């Protein structure tokens, strides 16, 4: 029986959430940004990143860096 890709995604999203709660937003962003290019769930990953960005604050240097990377991955 193969693992459901949705379960794997949910695990990755949870890991990113845990990184953020642990005070390491840069690692949370990196985890999701690394996953983004090869995932079939890019919309869900992007949505979670946007949620995390808003929690950290739009003016944060890590958020601004992650936003630039996300934009380059999208276009």
User: DSSP of 3-29, one letter per residue?
Assistant: PPHHHHHHHHHHHHHHHHHTT-HHHHH
Across all residues in the chain, what is the average pLDDT?
A: 93
pLDDT confidence tier of residue 1, bands split at 50, 70 and 90:
very low
What is the rounded distance in angstroms from the CA atom of residue 36 to the CA atom of residue 18? Answer: 18
Start-to-end CA span in the chain (Å) = 36
Q: Is residue 45 part of a domain?
A: yes
Total number of domains constituting the chain? 1
Range of the domain at 49: 23-74
Q: Is residue 11 part of a domain?
A: no
Q: Is residue 49 part of a domain?
A: yes
CA geometry: angle 42, 43, 48, nearest 5 deg: 95
Is the pTM for the entire model greater than 0.85? yes
């Amino acid at each position: 029986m193969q693992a459901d890709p949705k379960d794997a995604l949910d695990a990755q999203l949870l890991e990113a959430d845990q990184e953020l709660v642990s005070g390491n937003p840069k690692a949370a962003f990196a985890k999701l940004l690394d996953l983004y290019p090869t995932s079939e769930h890019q919309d869900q990953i992007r949505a979670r990143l946007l949620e995390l960005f808003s929690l950290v604050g739009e003016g944060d240097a890590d958020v601004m860096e992650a936003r630039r990377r996300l934009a380059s991955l999208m276009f």
